[in-house]
């Protein structure tokens, strides 16, 4: 192992001897020579650490005493004040080391918890406040010039003394208390495996756990950020992997030896001398948030594979930024691996959350529930306020926690913040324009950021709760400790073979090396290394990191064991305290005999051939096919459509399956996909022609470009930009011209071979140049191939102003008139019109347009046999710009509604959900009035009722229902009864005797809401209510209350005729007293709107007749009326009233015909069974009233209402056992009865069925468990 940072008594003695010299026979001792000799050794130790206390003392406290005595002797020959004023870096290093060691061994109650008395006493000097302050300044200067930890979060108090003590970490005599009082509770918690150091330190601070601990421990926890977090994290890691402990390898834990020894002694003193009792049931990894633009366009929550002993149900619970409670159940299947069971890794889009997420795990066998907390830290301003700003590392993708201090950040960041905010970076720059996000991150944006030195983020925008505006600054320090190590070696696989994760692949285990850049060597030269296998458990091996100078870098070869097997491995490097560990994952596959079979003329690879020296499970992915020819593995595409990669999965049934990609070309491009930003199986390696018109239609025209042969010409690290040229494409005799040069920024994390290009930058330029019809986007190669074409962009305004006019429909033949504005580049031959049902773009019928003819074109099409949305799309099978198919984004299209002859949507879709109706009719560009009225009135009503609003919507609903019907249905019009109900029963009943909600005012009151929400009390209304029964607190029967609400009121106000004024909640509390809870319900007037169902104006357009189950009595002397029947009263017009008032023959001709005897028999049977069912006490009371009331009033003619009401309950998933009260056979009997009723109603009373469906939808939306108010 490398030599540790340590100081010995021998070194101190050598420095004392080095201070001696002889002049003219006289021996002298020069204190500056002593400081120079010892100081250089100390400075060398400083170069690889962040904390002075990490320097080990070979002889323990004796080393400290030797340093103290040597300094006392040296300072007896000079002045400490002079050293503080004009001392050299070696002097400052030696004195700073002495200050820290004094804090470790001499600070305490004896010195009154002051550091300077033992410091001065040890040097043989009196205590001097001015000299102590100068020593503090010397220490601060030493920290800064040696880039040691300065504890930026420490702003006040004893700033010098506290920093000195923090550099000494936790003193030896207090480390036992630290472990027993703070670390031990985490070991006994089943959540200890999930706890992070950041979360642990935050918990210690917030829960008052420090009050009775020694002051050095308190100081370390309160002010030691970020070192305290790092030490807590390493203690947890040490406990988690204690079975790997070896006293000879104590450095693997990354902690000072005295801390490791103290923990080892503590473990021995525990019951049974073991550890991880609470963590034993499973081996789990911490979930975390990450943002990887290669995999997704929004941040995701990653839940790694978890080892489980039995099936577990997982659920996420969190609060959004507005405080709303959210939860999501997870389906995590168990997969057996090597005798254990692992869950499948999950990546979830949960959106921004307040602080973090709780992951609950419920064991299915025992029922026990465990909860772990997943942090989602926002940035914190200098004033301590949380800001809606998330910082992700571009190298790892993980969410970073700045904490409350000035935390060091990596060079490349990805920032996420709200759209309506501004963010400035001081000490860096935004390396990309902000990009808006969608889905659960709608309202947020991200931007790439590159840091160059220490600085700050200046934020202006909404605060973390989005309730107020704020302006704040977040300071940061730039992590300039030098570049981190990476893996290299001649044993790497060829560059066309890569892993999806970006991990290097090695084919020779004897040629793998860890390389450390020169700038990072001082930090990592003493690091502890360990080789760990990830696809299987149980393999770890310590690594001797004896770096050797190789040019401008340092390198160490990795010695692997003889039983080396193919798999996924990682090299874990643990550096000094304050430095995050470096993890270097890689894949070992013993591959050889590589051969690439290319298409003619250096085209893409058509076959990959290689041999694998050991057995490895490989599975082809997606479009890849795999074969074996005498031990040679052959990979190729199933069908070559220009795909850029073949893909296989290796180690598929292990803990860590890996996707390998085989690149067919070194130049590739990809468009954004729904599954991720640029998913690997969507990459292409052939140039594509793209019309300008198509780019105009694409909202996001960005493409990713990968070019393996690009020569950076710069240092490893920051990737240079890729230059793309836009060049004209003229005839052979014409000279090519470069129109535009664009430097595309790199964006992919970890791998510096992916750039982002917005094609709109090129298309906009082409459209502005009249003389340019086409241009190529090219990339310059560095191997003699010249300019390589990525895309050809064409000025292609095909079928400009495309439009379709519609005539006919329904039972008639439709005529479609197609036209567009002709352009010079329009296709002239091979033009077709494809007409097809929605969802079948490859089906339908093709109509060919005459070659060379100009629009317009008229196409007659026969009546359809398939209802719903239909599409018309243009196709061009032969075009100078390539084929234009119906599936092309730029193919002009037209969408309209069609239905077969005699087809009716309410008869086919009585149980359709409102959302389904919207989806089936969305995007309609046209529909004939006849088709809408005769075939789709039900869908039209549902969409209007649930998703429309405004004056046009109000007029439409009123025209469907009729003015009087709408007025009676509303729960706040004249005559409506309101009931205040509690669990113990009805308490108060009042009737509306006067209301401002009259026919003339309804439009203004209701136009601002969707009709499904009209049951709520309007924002502007005045009512007069009469008490139907006396109440102790609210008045006698007949007493009056006025109810009023205005736009300015938060609550409805009740005013009694006696002068009392109560808000609605208070009035309701008085009404239900002594009950504590209750509701205010409106009673639906079933007598007028259901038992005697009204005639609805929407029915007049329905070309159907209903059957009547009993011929009514006729007055033979009544003259035949020739005009359309109308009601004589001003109330609702029912079918029964119309029969009594008008001539029977006229009415039957317009409305219904008499049914057949067998239909009457079936109807009577159904009525009898429904009446038996309605007498059950378990049936929902409101449902029972609806069914029994209609049947009592109309007999068999009321079956349409029964079928309609139950159909809408089923559509809303309200048809439950608790509602139908049919428990004997699980509801099967009642469902069969419903199906028989529905079948009869469809045949006999289709118009009444439509009416009752509409009424049922309204009554359920406004009255089914819809209280006006509740407490």
pLDDT at residue 749, as a whole number? 46
Q: Evaluate whether residue 282 is within a structural domain.
A: no
What are the tens digits of pLDDT across the range 908-920? 889 888 888 887 7
Q: State whether 921 and 1026 are in the same domain.
A: no
* CB contact set of 1064 (below 8 Å; sequence gap of 6+): 1051, 1052, 1053, 1054, 1080, 1269
pLDDT at residue 375, as a whole number? 81
List the structure tokens of 931: 């088709």
Mean pLDDT of the chain: 81
If we measure between CA atoms, which residue out of 585, 528, 559 comes closest to residue 48? 528
Q: Evaluate whether residue 647 is within a structural domain.
A: yes
Q: State whether 1103 and 1237 are in the same domain.
A: yes
Q: State whether 412 and 324 are in the same domain.
A: no
Question: Residue 534: helix, strand or coil by DSSP?
Answer: coil
pLDDT at residue 369, as a whole number? 78
List the structure tokens of 1262: 């406004």
In the predicted structure, residue 1138 carries a pLDDT above the cut 50: no
Q: State whether 1017 and 1074 are in the same domain.
A: yes
Residues 33, 37: Cα–Cα separation, whole Å: 6
In the predicted structure, residue 892 carries a pLDDT above the cut 70: yes
Give the end of a domain, one of 121, 151, 167: 167
pLDDT at residue 283, as a whole number? 46
* β-bridge pairing 868-876 and 893-898: antiparallel
User: pLDDT class for 890, splitting at 50, 70, 90?
Assistant: low
Residues 237, 286: Cα–Cα separation, whole Å: 12
Which ranges constitute the DSSP H helices of 705-782?
760-768
Q: Evaluate whether residue 119 is within a structural domain.
A: yes
Q: State whether 1115 and 1071 are in the same domain.
A: no
Name the residue with tokens 């000072």: 256
Phi, psi of 1144 (to 5 degrees): -65, -45
In the predicted structure, residue 275 carries a pLDDT above the cut 70: no
Q: Evaluate whether residue 1271 is within a structural domain.
A: no
| Cβ contact 84:134 at 8 Å | yes
Q: What percent of the chain has pLDDT over 90?
A: 12
Give the end of a domain, one of 478, 508, 524: 478
In the predicted structure, residue 1139 carries a pLDDT above the cut 80: no
Q: Evaluate whether residue 280 is within a structural domain.
A: no
Q: Please tell me the total number of residues recorded for the chain in this structure.
A: 1271
What are the tens digits of pLDDT across the range 428-467? 888 777 888 888 899 999 988 888 888 899 999 999 888 8
In the predicted structure, residue 398 carries a pLDDT above the cut 50: yes
| Domain count within the chain | 11
User: pLDDT class for 418, splitting at 50, 70, 90?
Assistant: very high
Pick from 161-175, 357-371, 1094-1108 the range whose average pLDDT is largest. Answer: 161-175
In the predicted structure, residue 205 carries a pLDDT above the cut 60: yes
Q: Evaluate whether residue 121 is within a structural domain.
A: yes
pLDDT at residue 1129, as a whole number? 37
Which ranges constitute the DSSP H helices of 146-299?
159-167, 175-178, 184-187, 197-206, 215-223, 227-240, 257-269
pLDDT at residue 896, as a whole number? 80
Tally: H helices and E strands in the chain: 34, 65
Higher pLDDT, residue 798 or 1265: 1265
In the predicted structure, residue 752 carries a pLDDT above the cut 60: no
For the chain, the straight-line distance linking the first and the last C-alpha, in angstroms and rounded, comes to: 72
In the predicted structure, residue 1125 carries a pLDDT above the cut 80: no
Question: Residue 963: helix, strand or coil by DSSP?
Answer: helix
Q: State whether 769 and 917 are in the same domain.
A: no
Q: State whether 196 and 323 are in the same domain.
A: no
If we measure between CA atoms, which residue out of 782, 527, 533 comes closest to residue 3? 527
Residues 380, 386: Cα–Cα separation, whole Å: 5
What residues are paired with 451 via a beta bridge? 428
Phi, psi of 888 (to 5 degrees): -70, 145
Q: State whether 194 and 152 are in the same domain.
A: no
In the predicted structure, residue 963 carries a pLDDT above the cut 90: no
Name the residue with tokens 């090219």: 778
29-38, 836-845, 1048-1057, 1136-1145: range with lowest mean pLDDT:
1136-1145
Q: Which domain holds residue 202?
A: 172-273
Q: Evaluate whether residue 389 is within a structural domain.
A: yes
Q: State whether 261 and 232 are in the same domain.
A: yes
What are the tens digits of pLDDT across the range 1000-1014? 888 888 888 899 989
pLDDT at residue 139, as a whole number? 92
Residues 501, 657: Cα–Cα separation, whole Å: 11
Give the end of a domain, one of 771, 794, 817: 794
Q: State whether 596 and 642 are in the same domain.
A: yes
| Cβ contact 930:966 at 8 Å | no
Please state the rounded mean pLDDT for residues 184-193.
69
Q: State whether 268 and 185 are in the same domain.
A: yes
Question: Residue 157: helix, strand or coil by DSSP?
Answer: coil
Q: Evaluate whether residue 1268 is within a structural domain.
A: no
pLDDT at residue 110, as a whole number? 61
pLDDT at residue 696, as a whole number? 67
What are the tens digits of pLDDT across the range 1100-1118? 888 787 877 754 444 443 3
List the structure tokens of 117: 């008395």
Q: What percent of the chain has pLDDT over 70?
A: 85
User: pLDDT class for 157, splitting at 50, 70, 90?
Assistant: low
In the predicted structure, residue 316 carries a pLDDT above the cut 80: yes
What are the tens digits of pLDDT across the range 1237-1263? 989 888 888 888 888 888 989 998 898
18-27, 119-128, 190-199, 1193-1202: range with lowest mean pLDDT:
190-199
In the predicted structure, residue 1172 carries a pLDDT above the cut 80: yes
pLDDT at residue 277, as a whole number? 42
Domain of 509: which CATH number? Answer: 2.60.40
Q: State whether 846 and 740 are in the same domain.
A: no
Residues 170, 189: Cα–Cα separation, whole Å: 24
């Amino acid at each position: 192992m490398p030599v540790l940072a340590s100081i010995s008594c021998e070194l101190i003695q050598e420095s004392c001897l080095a201070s001696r010299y002889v002049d003219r026979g006289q021996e002298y001792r020069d204190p500056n020579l002593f400081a120079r000799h010892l100081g250089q050794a100390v400075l060398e130790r400083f170069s690889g650490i962040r904390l002075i206390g990490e320097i080990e003392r070979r002889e323990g406290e004796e080393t400290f005493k030797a340093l103290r005595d040597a300094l006392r002797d040296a300072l007896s020959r000079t002045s400490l004040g002079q050293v503080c004023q004009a001392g050299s870096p070696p002097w400052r290093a030696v004195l700073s080391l002495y200050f820290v060691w004094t804090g470790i061994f001499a600070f305490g109650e004896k010195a009154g918890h002051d550091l300077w008395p033992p410091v001065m006493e040890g040097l043989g000097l009196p205590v001097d406040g001015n000299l102590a302050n100068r020593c503090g300044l010397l220490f601060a200067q030493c920290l800064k010039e040696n880039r040691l930890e300065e504890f930026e979060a420490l702003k006040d108090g004893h700033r010098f003394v506290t920093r000195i003590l923090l550099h000494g970490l936790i003193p030896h005599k207090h480390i036992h208390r630290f472990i027993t009082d703070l670390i031990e509770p985490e070991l006994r918690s089943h959540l200890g495996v999930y706890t992070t150091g950041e979360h642990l330190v935050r918990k210690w601070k917030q829960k008052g756990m420090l009050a009775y601990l020694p002051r050095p421990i308190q100081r370390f926890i309160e002010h030691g950020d970020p070192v305290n977090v790092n030490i807590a994290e390493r203690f947890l890691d040490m406990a988690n992997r204690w079975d790997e402990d070896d006293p000879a390898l104590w450095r693997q834990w990354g902690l000072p030896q005295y801390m490791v020894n103290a923990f080892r002694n503590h473990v021995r003193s525990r019951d049974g001398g073991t550890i991880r009792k609470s963590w034993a049931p499973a081996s789990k990894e911490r979930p975390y948030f990450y943002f990887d633009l290669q995999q997704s366009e929004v941040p995701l929550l990653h839940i790694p594979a978890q080892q489980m002993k039995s099936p577990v149900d997982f659920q996420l619970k969190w609060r959004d930024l507005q405080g709303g409670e959210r939860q999501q159940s997870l389906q995590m299947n168990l997969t057996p691996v090597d005798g254990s069971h692992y869950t499948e890794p999950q990546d979830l889009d949960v959106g921004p959350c307040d602080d973090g997420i709780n992951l609950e795990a419920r064991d299915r066998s025992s029922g026990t529930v465990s909860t772990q907390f997943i942090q989602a830290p926002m940035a914190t301003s200098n004033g301590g306020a949380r800001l809606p700003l998330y910082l992700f590392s571009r190298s790892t993708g993980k969410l970073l926690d700045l904490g409350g201090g000035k935390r060091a950040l990596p060079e490349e960041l990805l920032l996420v913040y709200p759209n309506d905010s501004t963010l400035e970076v001081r000490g860096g720059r935004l390396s990309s324009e902000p990009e808006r996000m969608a889905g659960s991150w709608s309202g947020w944006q991200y931007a790439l950021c590159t840091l160059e030195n220490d600085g700050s983020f200046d934020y202006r925008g909404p605060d973390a709760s989005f309730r107020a505006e704020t302006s704040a600054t977040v300071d940061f320090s730039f992590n300039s400790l030098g570049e981190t190590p990476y893996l290299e070696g001649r044993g790497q696989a060829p560059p066309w073979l890569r892993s999806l994760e970006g991990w290097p692949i090695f084919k020779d285990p004897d040629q793998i090396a860890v390389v450390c850049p020169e700038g990072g060597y001082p930090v990592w030269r003493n690091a502890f290394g360990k080789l760990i296998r990830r696809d299987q458990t149980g393999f770890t091996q310590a690594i001797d990191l004896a770096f050797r100078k190789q040019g401008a870098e340092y390198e160490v070869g990795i010695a692997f064991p003889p039983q080396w097997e193919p798999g996924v491995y990682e090299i874990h490097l643990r550096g000094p305290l304050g430095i995050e560990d470096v993890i270097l994952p890689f894949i070992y596959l013993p591959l050889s005999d590589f051969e690439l079979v290319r298409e003619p003329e250096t085209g893409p690879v058509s076959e990959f051939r290689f041999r694998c020296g050991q057995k490895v499970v490989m599975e082809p992915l997606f479009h890849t096919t795999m074969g074996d020819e005498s031990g040679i593995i052959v990979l190729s595409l199933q069908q070559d459509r220009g795909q850029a990669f073949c893909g296989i999965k290796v180690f598929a049934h292990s803990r860590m399956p890996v996707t390998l990609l085989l690149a067919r070309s070194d130049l590739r491009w990809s468009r954004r996909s729904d599954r991720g930003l640029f998913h690997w199986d969507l990459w292409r390696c052939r140039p594509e022609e793209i019309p300008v018109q198509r780019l105009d239609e694409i909202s996001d025209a960005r493409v990713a470009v990968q070019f393996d042969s690009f020569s950076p010409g710069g240092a490893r690290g920051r990737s240079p930009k890729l230059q793309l040229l836009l060049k004209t494409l003229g005839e052979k005799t014409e000279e090519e011209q470069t129109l535009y040069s664009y430097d595309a920024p790199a964006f992919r994390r970890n791998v510096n071979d992916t750039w982002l290009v917005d094609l709109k930058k090129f298309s906009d330029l082409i459209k502005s140049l009249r003389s340019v019809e086409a241009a190529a986007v090219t990339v310059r190669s560095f191997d003699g191939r010249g300019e390589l074409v990525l895309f050809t962009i064409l000025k292609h305004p095909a079928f400009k102003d495309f439009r379709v006019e519609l005539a006919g429909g329904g039972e008639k033949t439709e005529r479609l008139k197609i036209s567009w504005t002709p352009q010079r580049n329009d296709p002239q031959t091979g033009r077709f019109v494809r007409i097809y049902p929605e969802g079948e773009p490859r089906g339908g019928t093709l109509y060919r347009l005459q070659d060379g003819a100009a629009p317009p074109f008229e196409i007659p099409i026969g009546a359809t046999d398939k209802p719903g949305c239909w599409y018309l799309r243009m196709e061009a099978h032969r075009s100078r710009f390539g084929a234009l198919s119906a599936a092309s984004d730029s193919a002009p299209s037209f969408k309209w509604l069609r239905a077969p002859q005699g087809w009716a949507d309410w008869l086919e879709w009585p149980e359709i959900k409102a959302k389904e109706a919207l989806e089936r009719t969305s995007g309609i560009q046209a529909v004939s009035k006849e088709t809408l009225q005769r075939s789709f009135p039900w869908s039209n009503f549902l969409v209007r009722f649930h998703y429309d609003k405004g004056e046009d919507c109000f007029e439409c609903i009123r025209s469907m229902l009729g003015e009087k019907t709408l007025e009676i249905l509303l729960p706040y019009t004249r005559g409506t009864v309101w009931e205040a109900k509690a669990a113990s029963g009805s308490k108060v009943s009042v009737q509306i005797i006067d209301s401002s909600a009259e026919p003339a005012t309804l439009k203004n009151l209701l136009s601002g809401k969707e009709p499904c929400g009209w049951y709520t009390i309007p924002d502007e209304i005045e009512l007069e209510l009469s008490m139907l029964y006396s109440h102790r607190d609210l008045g006698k029967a007949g007493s009056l209350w006025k109810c009023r609400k205005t736009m300015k009121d938060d609550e409805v106000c009740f005013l009694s005729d006696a002068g009392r004024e109560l808000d609605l909640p208070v009035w309701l509390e008085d009404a239900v007293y002594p009950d504590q809870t209750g509701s205010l319900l409106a009673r639906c007037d079933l007598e007028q709107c259901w038992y005697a169902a009204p005639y609805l104006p929407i029915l007049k357009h329905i070309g159907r007749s209903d059957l009547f189950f009993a011929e009514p009595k006729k007055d033979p002397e009544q003259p035949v009326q020739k005009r359309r029947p109308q009601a004589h009263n001003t109330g609702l017009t029912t079918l029964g009233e119309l029969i009594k008032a008008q001539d029977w023959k006229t009415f039957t001709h317009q409305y219904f015909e008499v049914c057949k005897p067998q239909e009457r028999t079936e109807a009577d049977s159904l009525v009898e069974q429904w009446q038996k069912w309605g007498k059950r006490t378990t049936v929902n009371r409101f449902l029972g009233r609806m069914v029994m009331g209609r049947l009592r009033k109309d007999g068999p003619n009321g079956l349409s209402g029964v079928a309609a009401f139950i159909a809408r309950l089923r559509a809303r998933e309200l048809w439950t056992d608790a509602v139908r009260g049919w428990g004997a056979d699980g509801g099967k009997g009642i469902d069969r009865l419903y199906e028989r009723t529905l079948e009869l109603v469809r045949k006999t009373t289709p118009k009444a069925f439509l009416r009752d469906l509409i009424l049922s939808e309204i009554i359920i939306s406004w009255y089914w468990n819809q209280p006006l108010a509740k407490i």
